[in-house]
Structure 1
Amino acid sequence: MYKDIILLTTSKKSGNYCIAGVEKERGNWIRIISEDDRIQHAIRSEDMIYENGNKPQIMDIVRIKCKGIKPNYYQPENYILDNSVSWQKIGRTNIQELLNIHCAENKQFVFFNSDKYIDSEFIKTLNDEEKYSLTLISPEDVCIHVKRWPERQQITMSFIYNGYRYNFMPITDTEFENIYLKYQDGNYNYQDNCLLVISLGDIYEKDYEAL
Structure 2
Amino acid sequence: MADKTFVCLSKSKKNNDFCVAGKIIHRHDEGIDVGEWIRPVNESGAITRYDSIYVNSIDSQSLDIITAIFTEPTPDKFQTENYLIDETQYWKKEGVYSSHPDSLRLLCDYPETLWINNHQTSSGKFDQVHPDEVEDLNDSLYFIEVGLITFFTSRWEKQKVKVRAEFIYNEVKYNLKVTDHKWLDYFEDKKVGCYTKPNCFVTVSLALEPFTNASGTFHYKLIAEII
Q: Does the pair score TM above 0.5?
A: yes
- Quote the residue 2:128 is aligned against: 117
For residue 140 of structure 1, report the CA deviation from its aligned partner.
4.0
Deviations 1:94-122 (A, max 9, x none): 1343433x2x2222211222611011111
| TM-score computed with the length of structure 1 as normaliser | 0.88
The structure richer in strand per residue is 2
- In the TM superposition, 1:154-165 aligns within 5 A as 154-165=162-173
Give every structure 1 segment of 4 or more consecutive aligned residues whose post-TM-superposition deviation is greater than 6 Å. none
In structure 2, C-alpha distance between the alignment counterparts of 1:28 and 1:21, rounded to whole Å: 9
Given that 1:12 and 1:18 are in contact with CA atoms closer than 8 Å, whether structure 2 keeps it comes out as yes
Identity of aligned residues (%): 27
Give unmatched runs, 5+ long, in structure 2.
27-33, 119-125, 223-227
- In structure 1, what residue type is equivalent to 2:191? Q
- Quote the residue 1:66 is aligned against: 70
SS at structure 1 position matched to 2:8: strand
- Work out the number of aligned pairs and report it: 199
- In the TM superposition, 1:189-208 aligns within 5 A as 189-190=196-197, 192-201=198-207, 202-205=209-212, 206-208=217-219
| TM-score computed with the length of structure 2 as normaliser | 0.82
For residue 16 of structure 1, report the CA deviation from its aligned partner.
0.4
- In the TM superposition, 1:1-211 aligns within 5 A as 1-25=2-26, 26-36=34-44, 41-95=45-99, 96-100=102-106, 102=107, 104-113=108-117, 115-124=126-135, 126=136, 131-150=138-157, 152=159, 153-167=161-175, 169-190=176-197, 192-201=198-207, 202-205=209-212, 206-211=217-222
In structure 2, C-alpha distance between the alignment counterparts of 1:93 and 1:106, rounded to whole Å: 20
In structure 1, C-alpha distance between the alignment counterparts of 2:58 and 2:131, rounded to whole Å: 38
For residue 151 of structure 1, report the CA deviation from its aligned partner.
5.1
In structure 2, C-alpha distance between the alignment counterparts of 1:99 and 1:193, rounded to whole Å: 12
RMSD: 1.6
The structure richer in helix per residue is 1
- In structure 2, what residue type is equivalent to 1:84? T
